[in-house]
Copies of this chain bind each other. A is one copy, B any other.
Amino acid sequence: MSLIVQKFGGTSVKSIARIKNVARVVERAAARNPVVAVVSAMGDTTDYLFKLAWQVGGKPNRRELDALLATGEQIATALVAMALSDRGLQAVSMTGNQLGIITESVHTSARIVDIKTERIRRYLDDGYIVVAAGFQGTTPEGDTTTLGRGGSDTTAVALAAALEASICDIYTDVSGVYTADPNVVHTARVLKEISYEEMLEMARVGASVLHPRAVELARKHRLPLRVRNTFDPDHEGTVLKGADQMEIQRPVSGVTLDRNQARLAILKVPDRPGVAGEVFGALAERRISVDMIIQAFHEDRSVNDITFVVKREDLAPAKESLTAVAARLCAEGVLADEDVAKVSIVGAALMDQPGVAASMFSALGRAGINIKMISTSEIRISCAVSDSEAERAVRIVHDLFHLGETDS
């Protein structure tokens, strides 16, 4: 019987009642397969521990911060193992150290370098359900480390790969990956499957159901990853797999909306080498990420307009940097536009279907929605539109590609 790895996030184990619910979900899987259940810290535990650390004073020592934060997952795993014992099952909680998750000797964002699975395998062979602490590992010297953002998802995928699990189920509070945000599009539905690459693009443009680091790791190991709902465990959820393994071919998988956007332009910059480097170098220095860069020629070809999109909270510092650069380069000026949202379609086979982009642009045009900017990747087409028209744009595109209809 093939092993299943299940991962339960902080909201799934927020209270004792929810921990008991998790035990029921694990029990069901364990009736048919050996199970490793990876668990995050309960609800706001990590935030609470963080706050304690900062109250001690100054920037916390990073080794000690890891030792502190790791207790959150240890509490949750022990309670889940108790809940399983209480249901008459053999279960054992394991810390990062006990799991043999060896990481770099870097604190607060260590990468996994090896997993020594002997001890886990021994417990599984003896019929135990292993309840594994997410987010943590150990240095070769035995110091506790944590894996940083998306850590528990990463733990689950890494354990599934090391133990050659048949699938890794990521349990969360939604039923899977939706074709669009159901709060915006009432006909949005859960996809049966999606490719790793599409998921990564969707994460980049606003959908946050899985951490990209875990998706990348699953892709590397070609490990099927499934998003499921802890509170609706009968729902089949969405399976992530390789594009070549997909059973269903479709031009567009989903529509995403990112409202946290703003547009900046530097006008009539001299057209000479090094200009773009100077503009974006100034922004990089302030650690401001930039997207959708467009360089437009003017008629006399001696000056350009450079336009791009930043996160809305970065607008003020970005504008300040850009104004300084504009003065230095003798540009005409800087324009800022906060009324921007990004509507994107994502699809594994998008570039093989040249008509898709054109029909998206036409549909938005017919609806009187002005497209401010366009950018594309292999599997994504994004349009920047006015924020006030963004939700309508999402609905139009969702309808256009019949995403509300089942695809099997």
Contacts and interface: CB of A to CB of B under 8 A. Distances in A.
A82 interface: yes
A283 to B, nearest CB: 35
Nearest to A83: B56
Interface stretch (A90-98, A230-238, A273-281, A293-301): A90-98
A59 to B, nearest CB: 9
B82 A16 contact: no
Given A71-B74, A74-B67, A82 B98 contact: no
A90 B61 CA distance: 10
Contacts of A174: none
Nearest to A133: B67
A16 B55 contact: yes
Contact of A64 (B53, B93, B97): B93
B56 A82 contact: yes
Interface string A68-91: 101100110111011101100001
A58 to B, nearest CB: 5
A85 B71 contact: no
Contacts of A97: 97, 142
Interface string A230-270: 00000000000000000000000000000000000000000
A65 B78 CA distance: 7
Given A56-B19, A75-B68, A86-B56, A81 B98 contact: no
Contacts of A61: 81-82, 85-86, 91
Contacts of A144: 95
Interface string A16-36: 100110000000000000000
A353 B71 CA distance: 56
Interface in A1-43: 16, 19-20
A305 B107 CA distance: 71
A64 B81 CA distance: 7
A182 interface: no
B68 A79 contact: yes
Contacts of A82: 53, 56-57, 60-61, 64-65, 68
How many copies of the polypeptide does the oligomer hold? 2
B57 A86 contact: yes
A354 B97 CA distance: 61
A49 interface: yes
Given A75-B49, A77-B67, A78-B68, A20 B93 contact: no
Contacts of A400: none
A61 B143 CA distance: 27
Query: Which of A78, A92, A143 has the most chain B CB atoms closer than 10 A to its own CB?
Result: A78
Contacts of A363: none
A63 interface: yes
Query: Which of A60, A79, A81, A82 has the most chain B CB atoms closer than 10 A to its own CB?
Result: A82
Contacts of A70: 74
Given A20-B57, A56-B20, A93 B81 contact: no
A184 interface: no
Given A67-B81, A71-B71, 6 more contacts: A64-B82, A64-B85, A65-B82, A68-B82, A97-B142, A98-B143
19 contacts: A16-B55, A53-B78, A53-B82, A56-B82, A57-B82, A58-B86, A60-B85, A61-B86, A64-B78, A64-B79, A64-B82, A65-B78, A65-B82, A67-B74, A67-B78, A68-B82, A95-B144, A97-B97, A98-B142
Interface of A: 16, 19-20, 49, 52-53, 55-58, 60-61, 63-65, 67-68, 70-71, 74-75, 77-79, 81-83, 85-86, 91-93, 95, 97-98, 119, 142-144
